[in-house]
Amino acid sequence: MQTQIEKLESDLEEKHEEVHFEHAADVLSDGINTYLNALNAGDPERWQEGKIGAQLRERQFRLTVSESKWSSKLGATLTCYFLLGYHYSLLQLTRTPGYNYPGICIIDFPPTLADGVEVADKENYLVEPFVNLLKSPEMRSCQLIAAGRAFEGLVDVNKVTLTQMWK
């Protein structure tokens, strides 16, 4: 039994050495920044907070905005952008070799953000980067489910309009 334990511990140590936390952090932050850049393609004023950074360690995970703690730097709308970027980054891991992500993202948009900005007329640009990501052949088996109030005029999506209100 002791021999088996030692063998398993040795195998575990070997696998642990194969984990490249810095590379994984770069992949995650690159994905978030890709999403934010896509938002800025439509309006350069949307995200002016700087680059997103990521730090991954065996027992720690941290995201930063311009090397500052994101939660103290961003208001409600920018936090929405940031968190959508995080989901975008995770979803794109599905097509990245060496990563195991299930290929589904579910987003439920509130009717207004905490700072009073109406979401209904702005949802399209928030989900368009996801739509474009999911058009790539390696993402065929993936899915984004987005619940919200509008999504008028989105191309290459399956839209289901709900008419019954549930209480």
Separation CA 134–CA 35 (nearest Å): 13
154 against 45, higher pLDDT? 45
Q: Which whole number is the average pLDDT over 18-26?
A: 82
β-bridge pairing 143-147 and 104-108: parallel
Strand (E) or helix (H) holding 158:
none
Instruction: Record the tokens describing residue 1, joined without a space.
Output: 């039994």
- Please tell me the pTM assigned to this model: 0.81
Instruction: Please tell me the distance from the alpha carbon of residue 38 to that of residue 36, in angstroms, as a whole number.
Output: 5
- All domains in the chain, ordered by first residue: 19-147 (3.40.50.300)
Under DSSP, the state recorded for 105 is: E
Per-residue model confidence as pLDDT tens digits over 79-126:
989 999 999 999 999 998 888 899 999 998 776 655 566 555 567 888
- 121/165: higher pLDDT: 165
pLDDT in tens, 40-67: 998 899 999 999 999 988 888 899 999 9
- Which residue, 133, 127, 91, is CA-closest to 109? 127
Nearest to 82 by CA among 121, 59, 103, 113: 113
Please answer whether residues 130 and 88 qualify as being in contact, where contact means their C-beta atoms are separated by less than 8 angstroms.
yes
